Amino acid sequence: MKILANDGIDATGKELLEKAGFEVYTANIAQADLLTKLNDYDAILVRSATKVRKELIDASPNLKLIGRGGVGMDNIDVEYAKSKGIEVINTPAASSNSVAELVFAHLLSANRFLNKTNCEMHSLEFSRFKELKNECSKGTELFGKTIGIIGLGRIGKEVARIAIGMGMNVVAHDPFLDKAEIEIIFHNQLNISPVKVEIVTKSKEEVLAESDFISLHLPGGKGIIMGETEFAKLKKSAVLVNCARGGSVDELALNNALNSGQLAAAALDVFEKEPPEYMDILVNSKVSLSPHIGASTVEAQERIGEELASKIISFFKK
């Protein structure tokens, strides 16, 4: 069996597959070239970059499995693949902690102006040291503030867990849930049992009005979740974080809200188009930026590779 890991796979997962007798190829094949080359493989593994659409599926009758290293599968025509008898798998839990931690890295960065201070101090602008200190001396703490989570899936719950541990209030909206249970685990020598906290979801409008911070965690393909109308409902001191899916935030409206003072700051790990094309948002000093690295930690990639390998081996053994 030949497997194409077109967007890469962790060495641990590759080793597990090879030990099970699979041939694993990690050389990236350009999207356009896949139409003529994918049929040489029995399975393809992707992350966010490679798209597995109807046209590619039709051109690859030998394909038996599509694997997505991560949570969302909006880059795969899942139902069409299944209708053709192709197994579709993903790794929904493997990267939750990594993405949630990046949310808080961005929140802390935005709230203490680290994106601004890092850029200026790395440029050796020491003549502005006192001025920069004054400009960035009005940061605020996360403790005691309210974070609004839109989407209470695995990653949204992990964000809630960390927020509660940091002494924050949590409000949430999820179009599919009335409530969710969050398990808080204390790691210390007392060996305390996990504490379960129930979060009752609210309307999107209530969450927007109450929150000091908004973190998005709905799957892709749902269109704009945060645009001009939503920004108008936020506190002027609010901070928006999107480490979920590009296309969920209207970047032009976001830039306008930041420049007008309607929104205090924002943080983006994902963009409407990647690489980003709307330059104004990239040069806005009120935005903390990262290049779609939410799941890109050593630990998450190991877990993703191991989970993919386990599911692939189990499928083909059948």
Backbone angles phi, psi at 52, to 5 degrees: -115, 90
Q: What is residue 107's DSSP assignment?
A: H
Tokens 């109807």 belong to residue: 54
Bridge partners of 268, per DSSP, are: 242, 289
CA distance 212 to 148: 7
Structure tokens at 272: 């409407």
DSSP annotation of 38: G
Are the CB atoms for 46 and 76 separated by under 8 Å?
yes
What DSSP line would sit under 256-295, residue for residue?
Answer: HHHHHTSSSEEEESS-SSSS---HHHHS-TTEEE-SS-TT
Catalytic residue, chosen from 47, 106, 154, 245, is 245
The Cα 167–Cα 103 span in angstroms is: 16
- Give the Cα separation of 12 and 14 in Å (integer): 5
Please state the φ and ψ torsions of residue 225, each to the nearest 5 degrees: -95, -35
Known catalytic residue at 245: yes
List the end-to-end C-alpha distance of the chain, in Å, as a whole number.
Answer: 14
Active-site hit among 47, 154, 161, 292: 292
Q: Which of 18, 23, 181, 274 is catalytic?
A: 274
Catalytic residue set = 245, 274, 292
